[in-house]
Structure 1
Amino acid sequence: MVIHYNSNTKEPYLRLPEPHANIILTPHRPNSLNETSSALVEILNDPRVALRLQRTPYPYLSSDGEQWAKANCKDQEGILSALREELEEPGNTAVQKDTGNVPHHGRPFVDISPFTCIREVLKIDPGTGTPVEDILIGDIRLARSSFDEYPEGSEERSLAQKGNDELLAGDENIVWSLADFLAPSHHGRGIMTLAVRTIIHDWAIPRMNVRRLKSWAFEDNEGSLRVFEKNNFIRGHTLKDWALVTESRGGGKKSIVLMEWTGEDDDE
């Protein structure tokens, strides 16, 4: 496990491995709301992204992006405060390293991943290698499962969510879900495959004790399904005409494929 820390901006972040070491995963930034909103508007109004998502507004407005960024900043405040304190402890270096499936230095497991923004680094400090300039190109997040395999509005879904939400942080029985999107300009490069791998192995396992992880994608979204498969998710049931699609996205229902992470070693 490796957590990087920008001591100038007080921002912890994860870095993807080569050949995409210029891609980092960061928290949302309270001082960059306009920049974040503008990037989200561009990405989430592109049909190549928007039509593969179910719940984000479409068309996506600047106000949507600003509200989304503000909400994430608020949610991440607590974990970021704790991380900064941890990373600034005397004797710690700018890059923190840990291995194994136990909390870093015996600290308790947490219930959130603050590393939700996928950014491309455009400029680094030549002396330290610390990012100086970057742009937002996508989003990746872990959340407790919404159990989309049960009918929307059903008692089964409600009971599954309630039981899952009542489990304490670090409980290996918590069912988590993973969702992501990436700017079309960066599709087809293997970036999302490594982003998923990084968030699982550098944060979800060692800091959240994630052991049960599911996701889903529309049946026609072969790119996303392959990203999950490359990270040892296996295809489960295909639920035909299952997910409600908003009128702005054409209406009706689309089939979804459930994906479940096995926790085995990743493909090389």
Structure 2
Amino acid sequence: MTTENNTSITPEEKERLLQIHDSAKPFWLTPTIQLGPLLPTDKDALIRNLNDKRVISYLIGPPYPYTPKDADEWIGARYERMNQKTGTVLHLSFRDMARGGLLIGAIGMTQGSDELLDGDDTGYWLDPAYHGQGLMSKALQWILLEIGIKQGGKRKFNSHAFMGNWASRRTMEKAGFVYQPDLKKEYVKDGETIHAWRFRFYLTEEDVVNLQVIEEAKPDPTLL
């Protein structure tokens, strides 16, 4: 996920942005799981996860097989997936701090225009070993509120899930997305046409006032 940033930047400015990106304060989803910035040390975990067919089967974006070059390019361009004016990181990594901060997933948010509702405003993936723990549901609600609504001022969101991906559908609906049966979307993946459910999430200013804060977990003291 990218922002509408000026990509013609000097090496010095790029390094400055990378330092801001990499030092972003993490959010504790649980006593052992953090949301934080993508780091160069995540390369091996990124390659492993994005070569797992259980992960990529419902993703349209990453190349497969996912190579070390792909990982280097994604990690190297991480400063582009932030709001360069505010320093807000828009693409966050799930980390298992009980396993040394191991990368186990990712979630991203755009801060672009509300009006077109053409592309997706959010996307995510998670290591299957961590499914069923409510991690993605809490992360999606948090990123919508803190990055999309509060910091980005967004009031309209657009997203999709491949038909049959009921877990993702439930996650989005729990976060406030509403299935749009009249909207059709198709993707081509591995030479096959994939049909997708479309979802939208609209908020009024009254809705925003009444939104509940997503509470941060207290980290396990043994990890500090």
TM-score normalised by L of structure 1: 0.61
1:1-268 → structure 2 map (5 Å cutoff): 10-16=23-29, 20-29=30-39, 33=40, 35-76=41-82, 78=84, 83=87, 113-122=89-98, 133-143=100-110, 164=113, 173=115, 175=117, 177-237=121-181, 242-246=186-190, 251-263=191-203, 265=211
For 1:261 and 1:180, locate their aligned partners in 2 and report how far apart those are by CA, in whole Å: 17
Q: Secondary structure at the match of 2:167?
A: helix
From the superposition, tell whether residues 183 and 64 of structure 1 become closer, same or farther in structure 2 (CA, over 3 Å): same
For 1:67 and 1:144, locate their aligned partners in 2 and report how far apart those are by CA, in whole Å: 22
- 1:42 deviates by 1.2
Larger radius of gyration: 1
What residue identity is the alignment partner of 2:179? R
Q: Please give the per-residue CA displacement for 1:203-238, whole angstroms capped at 9, x wherever unaligned.
A: 221111111111101001111111001111111137
Higher strand share goes to which structure? 1
What residue identity is the alignment partner of 1:256? A
What residue identity is the alignment partner of 1:66? D
From the superposition, tell whether residues 238 and 67 of structure 1 become closer, same or farther in structure 2 (CA, over 3 Å): farther
For 2:102 and 2:38, locate their aligned partners in 1 and report how far apart those are by CA, in whole Å: 12
From the superposition, tell whether residues 58 and 24 of structure 1 become closer, same or farther in structure 2 (CA, over 3 Å): same
For 1:144 and 1:12, locate their aligned partners in 2 and report how far apart those are by CA, in whole Å: 19
For 1:238 and 1:220, locate their aligned partners in 2 and report how far apart those are by CA, in whole Å: 17
8 A Cα contact 1:216 1:256, kept in partner: yes
How many residues were matched structurally? Answer: 184
From the superposition, tell whether residues 121 and 239 of structure 1 become closer, same or farther in structure 2 (CA, over 3 Å): same
Q: Which runs of 5+ in 2 are unaligned?
A: 1-21, 215-224
Q: Which runs of 5+ in 1 are unaligned?
A: 1-8, 84-111, 124-132, 146-163, 165-171
- 1:57 deviates by 0.5
For 1:219 and 1:239, locate their aligned partners in 2 and report how far apart those are by CA, in whole Å: 13
- 1:26 deviates by 1.4
What residue identity is the alignment partner of 1:72? R
Q: Identity of aligned pairs, percent?
A: 25
For 2:110 and 2:46, locate their aligned partners in 1 and report how far apart those are by CA, in whole Å: 20
